Chain A
Amino acid sequence: DQQVKQNSPSLSVQEGRISILNCDYTNSMFDYFLWYKKYPAEGPTFLISISSIKDKNEDGRFTVFLNKSAKHLSLHIVPSQPGDSAVYFCAASADNAGNMLTFGGGTRLMVKP
């Protein structure tokens, strides 16, 4: 039973445009959400997080939106750059912090120059 799902295995976007990556979860106990970025042959790198008490968190070009009623979160990258091409993982935790993470299957983002 996948508690965190990323239904789009891949996404292709033109440089300078917005990239929107989506994530759905089923466990209502999840209260902390994170996005990780992964380049080939490297481990995942933390990108941005959001607590369930918020519905939006921004960090430079990256914004995460949380819709608790829909059990849905999304990562917006504006503007997209070729260096953003990577696999993005959504992760969730039920301890209000970045512990005991449950990951989604990932979305491969390709930003074309």
Chain B
Amino acid sequence: EAGVAQSPRYKIIEKRQSVAFWCNPISGHATLYWYQQILGQGPKLLIQFQNNGVVDDSQLPKDRFSAERLKGVDSTLKIQPAKLEDSAVYLCASSLYYQETQYFGPGTRLLVL
């Protein structure tokens, strides 16, 4: 069974630029999560989708971050404009259903200069 796929794996941008990350969850998984992991910290949940609907986005900085999950499969996370403090690893996870075990992708490492 293929795992959660993410791209790109690495991205370097300058502050005020925009960036987008892509996630392809495990086939058949209805729930998708985006996490931000700053160096030395644990992952922090940004947004959770159930199929193509948002379940929770209370920790998403909505003035600059946006996410969508069209057709309930792939998802994109966008940052516009990026700030220095957005430098982190962005992890995507999926689970079969709400409240099931989450499987994580390898993450996208973002560096904002």
Name A's B-contacting residues (CB within 8 A). Answer: 4, 6, 9, 36, 41-46, 89, 91, 95, 97-106
A46 touches B44 (CB 8 A): no
Partner of B104, one of A45, A100, A102: A45
Some 29 contacts from A to B, beta carbons below 8 A apart, are A4-B42, A36-B104, A42-B106, A43-B91, A43-B103, A43-B104, A43-B105, A43-B106, A44-B43, A44-B91, A44-B104, A45-B104, A46-B101, A46-B102, A46-B103, A89-B43, A91-B42, A97-B99, A97-B100, A98-B95, A99-B31, A99-B95, A99-B99, A101-B43, A101-B45, A102-B45, A103-B42, A103-B44, A104-B42
**Which residue of chain A has its CB nearest to the CB of B98?**
A99
In the bound complex, CA of A43 to CA of B48 (Å): 17
* Residue in contact with A98 in the complex, picked from B42, B56, B100, B105, CB distance below 8 Å: B100
Q: How far does the Cβ of B28 sit from chain A's closest Cβ, in whole Å?
A: 17
Chain B contact-residue range equals: 20 to 34
Q: In chain A, what residue has the closest Cβ to B48?
A: A100
Give residues 55-113 of B contacting A (CB, 8 Å): 56, 91, 93, 95, 98-107
Do the beta carbons of B99 and A95 come within 8 Å of each other? yes
Choose among B40, B43, B106 the residue that contacts A103 (Cβ–Cβ < 8 A).
B43
Q: Roughly how many angstroms separate A6 CA and B40 CA in the complex, as a whole number? A: 11
Residue of B nearest to A6 (CB): B42
Whether A106 contacts B42 in the complex (CB less than 8 A), given A43-B93, A43-B104, A43-B106, comes out as yes
